[in-house]
Amino acid sequence: MGMGQAMGKGKPHWTMDEWGEFLHLPDYNEDFNREMKDMVPDTERRWDKRERAWWISDAWLDEVDSLLRRYYDEYVMVRSW
């Protein structure tokens, strides 16, 4: 599946807990993950097995949101905090 098409069911979304902000993706997207890893330094992101989501530093949220809009047509940034 190429850029601009959502993979799997659901939409990317953000959650927050005491550790920070987590990006949940509907499915594994190798292209998105590669580009996100190239953009966000490894000190500013990590895969969280417990959450099954990416923890992203606050400093990179806008850039990751822009990337999400490129890969997921239906993505709308919604944060409840």
> Tens of pLDDT along 62-77?
999 999 989 988 776 6
Q: What residue spans define the domains of the chain?
A: 13-71
Strands 45-48 and 13-17: unpaired
Higher pLDDT, 53 or 77: 53
Query: What stretch of H or E contains 68?
Result: helix 61-71
Higher pLDDT, 1 or 9: 9
> Tens of pLDDT along 7-51?
445 789 898 878 788 999 998 999 999 999 999 999 999 999 988
